[in-house]
Structure 1
Amino acid sequence: MFSKGNSSNSDSFDTIIGINSKIEGNIETEGTIRVDGKVFGDLKINGDVYVGKDAAILGNIYANNVFISGKVEGNIESKGILKVHSSGKLYGDIAVYSLVTEEGSLFEGKCKMMAVNQPEDVPSVSNTKKSKNNNKTSAAE
């Protein structure tokens, strides 16, 4: 059930959906979930989501971090990292802070990278352009 490439152990999951299980409906939980079976519905998880190699999810996923080794057909919103392992297949749009795809993985959809707040001492692009224009104006005078 747990692949050698996945560093998680069974103690780290609050909910496990076994390989022979089929769930129809939305799932919400505060902790981390591992799916090895089939889920037809949305997952709203305040922890992390692990999708096993033989798992299939037909629905949207909202979570902190998402690790896909199986198949997901749906949109994903991750507050942290989305990692698609080499055996993973993802069909859907994503909105994430960080995206990692291994060689051999499949991703079909649109990707929106959410910005992390910039430090205050780093000028934004619009401020940089403005200061260059001001320099050109000053040089012309």
Structure 2
Amino acid sequence: MSMFGSRDKSNNQQESAPAVNKSASSKDIKTLIGEGCKVEGNFFIPTATRIDGVIKGDLTGDSGIVIGHTGKVIGSVCASEVVIYGMVEGNVETNRLELKKGSKMNGDVTVNNLVTEQGCIFNGKCAMKDETSNVTELVPELNTSTGNVKIKSVMSS
């Protein structure tokens, strides 16, 4: 505890969802629908966006869209890159979709690259846009000193 009774807040903060990988870093996010906000309607969003509230309607974006842990979209999502930590009830069309641990996706997906983490829920169909899109080769690496095996992904050409 420091002067005036303020505490070090670093121990009390939840780990927040990082921003979209390549297309939008946290400093690039220009549009934010905060936790507790509820909006209804169809939206076109030209900048990188983070949703921590609830949207009932379709989202179309030129950049990346992050659905945070508390975020929920009831409608379709179309953007260059979509990362879901929260929930989407609707179809998603994107170049790259990441379904993070704890996320819920109820709807069909049209995508070039799909990344799912263990612990996500996906109920729907998946259609790949391009049959030649990035195929990932998994290569096991053995650490001889510990005996542990690590799986490394390598982009095939």
Q: Shorter-chain TM-score category?
A: 0.7 to 0.9
| 1:68-109, Cα deviation, whole Å (9 max, x unpaired) | 00010000000x210000011000001000000000000000
CA 1:16/1:2 → structure 2, altered by over 3 Å: closer, same or farther? farther
State TM-score, norm by structure 2.
0.69
From the superposition, tell whether residues 20 and 65 of structure 1 become closer, same or farther in structure 2 (CA, over 3 Å): same
Looking at structure 2, the residues matched to 58 and 6 of structure 1 have their Cα atoms a distance apart, in angstroms, of 22
Residue number in structure 1 paired with 2:88: 72
Contact 2:79–2:93 (CA under 8 A) maintained in structure 1: yes
d(CA) in 2 for partners of 1:2, 1:30: 29
Give, as a single letter, the amino acid of the residue that structure 2 aligns with 1:36. D
Gaps of 5+ in 1: 119-141
Letter in 1 for 2:18: N
- C-alpha displacement of 1:29: 1.5
User: Structure 1 or 2: larger strand share?
Assistant: 2
Larger Rg: 1
Q: Deviations over 1:29-58 (max 9, x none)?
A: 211110000000000101000000011110
The structure whose residues are more often helix, as a share, is: 1
1:16 corresponds to: 32
Q: 1:2 to 1:60 in 2, by over 3 A?
A: farther
Give distance in 2, aligned partners of 1:13 and 1:2.
Answer: 19
Query: In structure 2, what is the equivalent of residue 108 of structure 1?
Result: 123
Taking only aligned residues, the RMSD between alpha carbons, in angstroms, comes to: 2.0
Separation in structure 2 between the aligned mates of residue 35 and residue 67 of structure 1, nearest angstrom: 10
Correspondent of 1:62 among 78, 102, 107: 78
User: 2:43 matched to 1:27?
Assistant: yes
Count of residue correspondences: 117
* Corresponding residue number in structure 1 for 2:111: 96
- The structural deviation recorded for 1:66 is 0.3
* TM-score computed with the length of structure 1 as normaliser: 0.76
What is the alpha-carbon distance in structure 1 between the residues aligned to residue 79 and residue 14 of structure 2? 21
Change (3 A) 1:22 1:2: farther
Per-residue deviation, residues 8-46 of structure 1 (Å, max 9, x unmatched): 654211100000100100111211110000000000101
Q: Which amino acid aligns with 2:70?
A: D
In structure 1, distance between residues paired with 2:109 and 2:42:
19
Identity %: 34
